[in-house]
Amino acid sequence: MTAAQNKIKVGVLGFGGLGQAAAKVLAPKQEMILVAAADHKGYAYDRLGLDADICGKIYQEKDSLGYLEPHGMLSNNSIQDLLEKADVDGYFLALPNLPNTFMASVAQQFIDAGWRGVLVDALKRTSAMEQVLEMREALQKAGITYMTGCGATPGLLTAVAAIAAQSYAEIHDITITFGVGIANWEAYRATIREDIAHLPGFDVEKARAMSDAEVESFLDKTEGIITLEKMEHADDIMLELAGICSRDRVTVGGVVDTRNAKKPLSTNVKVTGRTFEGKTSTHRFTLGDETSMAANVCGPAFGYLKAGVSLYRRGLYGLFTAAEIMPQFVK
């Protein structure tokens, strides 16, 4: 067996900001190899491995991996074509969830194709995750191990909250506050559109319909800053499902600076509860300011993909959230 055959074969669907970062995160790994990637106009597949830098260059120059020579293919149905063709153990779904039903429809596509393996998403909205949760039984029957909410928030910070909760007899409040700094909004178009969709006066459909010029002129008015409060974020339903607390005790908000790579505030989670002795206390966990959104999303996504592969190999299929499974560190 060659070294490539021993590795977990990974595909990345969506090759925008997170997809390209995901390819770079995988590049030095010994336990995983990127073999497949797709965007909205094409895909690339090489069972011996795709080069993250070359893929990134092609995507930035030509707007699709379909132009990659000799392993690219242009397609208007790239996800379907790739999943039928590629031998992949697990996919990271770095896709925009626009419309709000898109991720659930992609999961359905995998089920309908009779595909088996591990899927990992970094879904954000509660209502989007509810659609995926409804597919639990269908995923199980299909032989798919689906890990949902496995980015930063939801994801890393939700898992931290689930662990921090263990000190308490009762949880009063979980507050997640994120700071994101990106130098240029166009590197993360879907993330920014989906964030705008949370603002008063906007919804998913309105944000989806905005042209790039409209997003830009909106950001001009706010000097590039998006301030988000009491978001509809799936951390709440994940913590409720994990039995930590009811969803109304979970609050998520944050500040995104779309013109500066420096974080406008330190991302943190606070978990307040009552101990068995009757004391009220708060645990605080703060991410290092030097860690980017991409590092805090893609790292956990692959940690959960590795965990998903070990569940899959033990015959455990269905749906799992980042709050109920420990991610495994990928070497």
Per-residue DSSP letter, 67? G
Residue 100 near residue 23 (C-beta atoms within 8 A) = no
E strands, the chain, in order: 8-13, 32-39, 42-45, 72-74, 90-93, 117-121, 144-148, 170-181, 225-228, 250-257, 268-274, 280-286, 318-321
Which residue among 9, 194, 283, 306 is the active-site one?
194
Residue 94 C-beta: closest distance to ligand NAD, Å: 5
Among 8, 9, 11, 14, binds ligand NAD (CB under 6 A): 14
Q: How far is CA 205 from CA 31, 152, 272, in A?
A: 40, 24, 35
Q: Is 263 a catalytic residue?
A: no
152 binds ligand NAD (CB under 6 A): yes
The span of 136-144, 189-197, 224-232, 281-289 binding ligand NAD (CB under 6 A) equals 189-197
- Name the strand (E) or helix (H) holding 235: helix 235-241
Pick 91 or 168: Cβ nearer ligand NAD: 91
User: Is 141 in the active site?
Assistant: no
Tokens of 238: 């994940």
- Contacting residue, 97, 126, 131, 158, with ligand NAD by CB under 6 A: 97
Structure tokens at 232: 């509809």
Q: Is 257 in the site for ligand NAD (CB under 6 A)?
A: no
What is the residue type of 320? F
Q: Is 262 a catalytic residue?
A: no
Helix (H, G, I), strand (E, B) or coil at 14: coil
Q: Is 128 in the site for ligand NAD (CB under 6 A)?
A: no
Q: Does 302 bind ligand NAD (CB under 6 A)?
A: no
CB of 15 to ligand NAD, least distance (A): 4
Q: How many residues bind ligand NAD (CB under 6 A)?
A: 30
44-83 residues near ligand NAD, rule: CB under 6 A: 78-79
Q: Which of 23, 39, 75, 215 binds ligand NAD (CB under 6 A)?
A: 39
Annotated active-site residue in 9, 71, 124, 283: 124
What is the C-alpha to C-alpha distance for residues 51 and 70, in angstroms, rounded to an integer? 12
What gap in Å lies between CA 272 and CA 258, rounded to an integer? 31
* Catalytic residue IDs: 124, 194, 198
Provide the binding-site residues for ligand NAD, judged by CB under 6 A: 13-19, 38-40, 78-79, 94-97, 122, 124, 151-155, 188-191, 194, 293, 297
